[in-house]
Chain A
Amino acid sequence: RKEVEQDPGPFNVPEGATVAFNCTYSNSASQSFFWYRQDCRKEPKLLMSVYSSGNEDGRFTAQLNRASQYISLLIRDSKLSDSATYLCAVNFDRGSTLGRLYFGRGTQLTVWP
């Protein structure tokens, strides 16, 4: 079983739609969780850290479910500019937020006009 798994998609949605991605992780001791956005042939850019209580940043909402070991990303009112690959990343180090991140392979989103 891979440490971090995502549905690769692609998700194709019209502008204005709401879309949600899930990401499951294998290590229950995981300390920190992130969503990154990666545009074609570019580096990953941090979109959001995921807090235990869930958090929202404008049109983006991230949630953590420790019991079921998944994190989610909800995008409301999708824009054309949201088209990208969304990567989830998890730190597995017990008792520390440092150390390597384990990345999922990404979920591809295309928003069409």
Chain B
Amino acid sequence: GAGVSQSPSNKVTEKGKDVELRCDPISGHTALYWYRQRLGQGLEFLIYFQGNSAPDKSGLPSDRFSAERTGESVSTLTIQRTQQEDSAVYLCASSSLGGRYNEQFFGPGTRLTVL
């Protein structure tokens, strides 16, 4: 079946502009996660959605970052007034409540470059 998809695959923007990144989870997966990975670094958690529960926003680095999810479908991650340190690969993952171990499956990521 189809995996997690993300768009755009690459985004180059100027400092100070807003960007919106999109994630389509695997169909039927109720949990959705955003992580980011800076060059040469590990994965950094940003935000987690599970069904209709309040999202876990504990990883968002500043109030310039926000994310939304409509039901159990698409999620968008918005970064306002982008800064150069926001340059990273933004990865989305989804998982199923029915999974025994909460295996998370990742999309291909959006590579964001802030000039």
Does chain A bind chain B?
yes
Give A76 to B50 CA distance when docked, in angstroms: 38
**Given A34-B101, A46-B103, A98-B95: 4 more A-B contacts, CB < 8 Å:** A43-B91, A91-B102, A102-B45, A105-B41
Instruction: Assess whether B101 is in contact with A97, with CB atoms less than 8 Å apart.
Output: yes
Q: Provide the B95-115 mask, 1 if CB < 8 A to any CB of A, else 0.
A: 101011111111111000000
Within 8 A of A (CB), among B27-85: 31, 33, 35, 41-43, 45, 48, 50, 56, 59
Identify the A interface with B (CB < 8 A). 32, 34, 42-46, 49, 87, 89, 91, 97-106
Among residues of A, the one whose C-beta sits closest to the C-beta of B6 is A43
Instruction: Assess whether A100 is in contact with B103, with CB atoms less than 8 Å apart.
Output: no
Instruction: Assess whether A44 is in contact with B43, with CB atoms less than 8 Å apart.
Output: yes
Query: Secondary structure of the A side of the interface?
Result: strand
Name A43's contact: one of B45, B102, B103, B106 (CB within 8 Å).
Answer: B106
Give A103 to B43 CA distance when docked, in angstroms: 6
Can you pick out 5 interface pairs between chain A and chain B where the beta carbons lie within 8 Å of each other?
Answer: A44-B43, A46-B104, A49-B101, A91-B102, A100-B56
Closest 10 CB pairs of A and B: A105-B42, A97-B102, A103-B43, A43-B106, A49-B101, A32-B101, A100-B45, A103-B42, A44-B106, A43-B108
